[in-house]
Structure 1
Amino acid sequence: MLAGTELGQSKSQDGAVEIIRTLRVARRSAMKARTQAANQLRAVLVTAPDQLREQLRGLSLARLVATATRFRPGEPDTLEAAGKLALKCLATRYRQLDEEIKALDTQINRLAHQAAPALMSIKGIGPDTAAALLIAAGDKPDRLHSEAAFAHMCGAAPIPASSGNTLAICRLSYDPRAQAYATRRTSEGKTKREIIRCLKRYLAREVYKAITSDNTTTRGTPPAITDLAA
């Protein structure tokens, strides 16, 4: 870039993907706050009076939230009443944040299907994963000059990296192509780590093709796993 021979294209930040990114900022904040509320619920319960602790001990998080929101503690003049009021406030906050996250998920899901139907059609890619991939590529993925460039950006180039592990491992559990590929490479002496690394590279290729096809009139099929480089 300093020499002026390679000039990259920046993200446009003015389309559907930018809308998704903005909503994910709010979602990430709500997720963090919900986790904090859940942790504080458990912390208050640990130090609550014996009678209250025994009443709530062993409840799942969902049942604890449901029970605590029904408390009618009255004035917090006793330790038990104060504990109930604190638990009720935290449980109410958790429930409100949960509803907020669900509302944001609904909108992100709708926008992801509109912006990238081909990407969303790939088994194993849900709205949140699709949103993250779309944000990485930007509103104009054609600015990435090749699928190899996209793979490097995702950390899925043929070098040891953890990106895409979950999706690659999921593919091994249900995709006959991935299973056949793993069997063949295992017989050739490849380790599981090496096989997953190659699968991640394939997944980056498939995702890139889906993302770019959503921005053109051309549709194509993903490459066969057997075409992967060693």
Structure 2
Amino acid sequence: MTDLTSTRSGDVVVGVDTHKHIHVAAVMDTIGGILATLTIPTDTGGFRQLLAWAEGFGRILAFGIEGTGSYGATLTSFLRRHDIKVVEAGRPDRRLRRANGKSDTLDAENAARAVLAGFATAIPKTADGTVEMIRQLKVVHDSAVLSRSSAMIMMKAMLVHSSDEMRRETNKMSRPKLARHLAGLRPRSLETPDDALRHSVRTLARRWLTLDTEAKELEALIEDAVRRTAPQLLEQFGIGVDTAAEILIVAGDNPERIRSEAAFAKLAGIAPVPTGSGMTSGRHRINHGGHRQLNAAIYRTVIVRMRFHEPTIAYVARRTAEGRSKRDIIRCLKRYVIREVYHLVKANPTTGEIGS
């Protein structure tokens, strides 16, 4: 009897389960199934070992890597420099995990099977250009804005317990003026709760001023990078720097990886999901997946256009007269905007030529 396990095609795919300090890989022949597994450290030496090990089993069709944008980013970059195809394997299905258990080896094997079966097809972002710079700056900027808001909320909450005189002085002050005023308080010896409160609000005020300066500096850097990368986005009504940055971050430095308008809409969670079954065919529901920050940015653009953009205002009036609800109209407008920006992110910023 022929041993099926010895049957080999010579073409292999590799699945990788990524972690902070180690990666676990499984190599799979297109006919012979899983051949072997390997654990490597997450450094250049480990990546070289992995590539040489995989090449020893035959011609590599592709690597399926889980977490190409996080723990698998450096491995993805290494493989691309060696002209190896990489796809995002994604997380294994939860039902499979419940039924078959979970381990690093099983996750690596599932990643290889997903690539071979054609379930894993997403091309990861290259993360090697200006858009990656924008993403890194925006992560820190958003953190500074969140911490700044937290400091102001805490400051105002503590002022509720301050003296009548301090409350009168700070009443109706703008946030910058309030922060500057409290930051200039003179310290006192800690003898009463009021002394502790003065120290506390002064510290929070100085923290707010520091974070405010930090956020504004980062905003300027982000705006400069966005204008250099995609000025055509900022020319559109209702699309500001923050929205343009979110669009670029999702598209990545290689927007050609997004094959169609529909794919970009799905990536943003704007494409409807079919829910028909039996006698209810043709029904759809809202897509709750996708990139939620981009979805929110497109929503803000739609709201601005509904209030100030004359063609959009006329469209809303016409659709309202047809019996459409405001919610449905917003969905239609979000789909229109994502279709518009899909072509803009693929445009050449120098020539203005729109990509296909």
For the superposition of Structure 1 and Structure 2, which TM-score range results when normalised by the shorter chain?
Answer: 0.7 to 0.9
| 3-state SS of paired residue (2:259) | coil
With normalisation by structure 2, the TM-score equals 0.57
8 Å Cα contact 1:23-1:104 kept in structure 2: yes
What is the CA deviation profile of residues 41-80 of structure 1, one whole-angstrom value per residue up to 9, with x for unaligned ones?
1122122344434443443433321210121123333333
Match of 1:160 among 265, 269, 286: 286
Higher relative contact order (CA 8 A, sep 6+): 1
User: What runs of 5+ residues in structure 1 fail to find an aligned partner?
Assistant: 222-230
Amino acid at match of 1:165: Y
State how 1:26-175 maps to structure 2 within 5 Å: 26-158=140-272, 159-160=285-286, 163=295, 164-175=298-309
Structure 2 match to 1:225: none
More strand by share: 2
With normalisation by structure 1, the TM-score equals 0.86
Q: Structure 1 residues 190, 53: closer, same or farther in 2, change over 3 A?
A: closer
Amino acid at match of 2:353: R
Amino acid at match of 2:123: Q
8 Å Cα contact 2:346-2:354 kept in structure 1: no
Deviation of the 1:176 alpha carbon: 2.5
Structure 1 stretch 117-126 or stretch 10-19: which is displaced more? Answer: 117-126
Q: Structure 1 residues 117, 186: closer, same or farther in 2, change over 3 A?
A: same
Q: CA RMSD in A?
A: 2.3
Indicate the percent of aligned positions where both proteins have the same amino acid.
39
| 3-state SS of paired residue (1:213) | coil
8 Å Cα contact 1:161-1:197 kept in structure 2: no
8 Å Cα contact 2:137-2:222 kept in structure 1: yes
User: What runs of 5+ residues in structure 2 fail to find an aligned partner?
Assistant: 1-114, 273-284, 289-294
More helix by share: 1
8 Å Cα contact 2:348-2:354 kept in structure 1: no
Are 1:194 and 2:308 an aligned pair? no
Q: Distance in 1 between matches of 2:121 and 2:172?
A: 59
| 3-state SS of paired residue (1:139) | coil
Q: Which has the larger radius of gyration?
A: 2
Deviation of the 1:3 alpha carbon: 1.6
Q: Distance in 2 between matches of 1:6 and 1:77?
A: 65
Deviation of the 1:198 alpha carbon: 0.7
